[in-house]
Amino acid sequence: MNVLPAHSDLSRVRLSGECDVTTIDQSLQDMPATARYARFSRRLRGMFIDWALTLVVVFGALIIASAMRNDDLSRFLGVAVVAIVVLYEPILVSRTGGTIGHHLTNLRVVDDDTGGNVSFLKAVARVVIKGVLGWYSFLSMAFTRRNQAIHDFVTGSTVQIRDLAKATPGQFVTERARAAPRPDMPSVARRIAVTLAYLLVTAVVYLGLEQWAVQSEAISMQCLDTDVCTTTENVLTWALGGGTLVALVACVVLGWLAKLPGARSA
């Protein structure tokens, strides 16, 4: 296991109270390459940069199309923007190891098998899984040993610090120790199956409560279809959606920890 050096090893405090930055940089350089998996906060910063760039491209194309008032140009710009948005991440990740957001935040997507860039197909799979799961894909970072989101884990990749000399210890973590196997712990397959069953039940309960709210006229169909709701309807809608979201997250967490009935540790 790779362990982050102690504070005393990372820095040398002079008599004046100032920190020896050279010593910190040298300590970081001496750390093994496998000990630099990006924290969620670092990855979030990179995603915000990519989102901002996407918005610039989209709104820039809209402004040009509106100014030129040319149907052929507008269609071309529309196709070009869609192509850029769809292929932006897969091409840059597979060719350069990361998007512009990754590069600006000193991050790199690494293939577990080769230690280099992921293939184009893996990069596409990462985007698809991330697009389908959204923020839920990042929940697994709290449980995986190398801070892997679901789209990382499924595609056999990790997100690491690109240049360790430019990083600080707060931007990454080392590989967590593998937990000792417990004889009373249900298998991973059983925990996943039971968790999926609870997620399905939660979704059915949500739909049932929504239908009951409509039939009792607590929430109107107009509110559900057009989002034109009264204050009471907004409160009920947010409460129902928020409660369901909390229940879904709880199912995932408790299922992995073997706390759900049906796949519970002794």
CA 94/CA 138 separation, integer angstroms: 21
Q: What pLDDT does 106 receive?
A: 95
Closest by Cα among 47, 75, 37 to 161 = 37
What b/e sequence results for 79-118 when a residue is b if at least 16 CB atoms lie within 10 Å of its CB, and e otherwise?
eebeeeeeebbbebbbeebbbbbbbebbbbbbbeeeeebb
Closest by Cα among 244, 171, 167, 174 to 205 = 244
Pair 124, 137: CB distance under 8 Å: no
- Residue 194 reports pLDDT greater than 80: yes
- φ, ψ for residue 116, nearest 5 deg: -110, -155
- Please state, for a pLDDT cut of 70, what percent of the chain lies above it: 85
- pTM recorded for the entire structure: 0.63
pLDDT single digits (tens) 98-157: 999 999 999 999 999 999 999 999 999 999 999 888 888 898 888 888 999 989 988 999
CA 44/CA 55 separation, integer angstroms: 16
The string of DSSP letters for 199-229 reads HHHHHHHHHHHHHHHHHTTSS-HHHHHH---
Burial class (CB in 10 A: 0-12, 13-18, 19+), 238: exposed
* Cα→Cα distances 38→134, 142, 170, 177, 189, Å: 19, 12, 9, 17, 28
- Residue 17 reports pLDDT greater than 70: no
CA 255/CA 140 separation, integer angstroms: 12
**Running DSSP on this structure, what letter comes out for residue 263?**
S
Q: How confident is the model at residue 49 (pLDDT cuts 50, 70, 90)?
A: very high
pLDDT single digits (tens) 52-69: 999 999 999 999 988 888
Q: Report the chain's mean pLDDT, rounded to a whole number.
A: 83
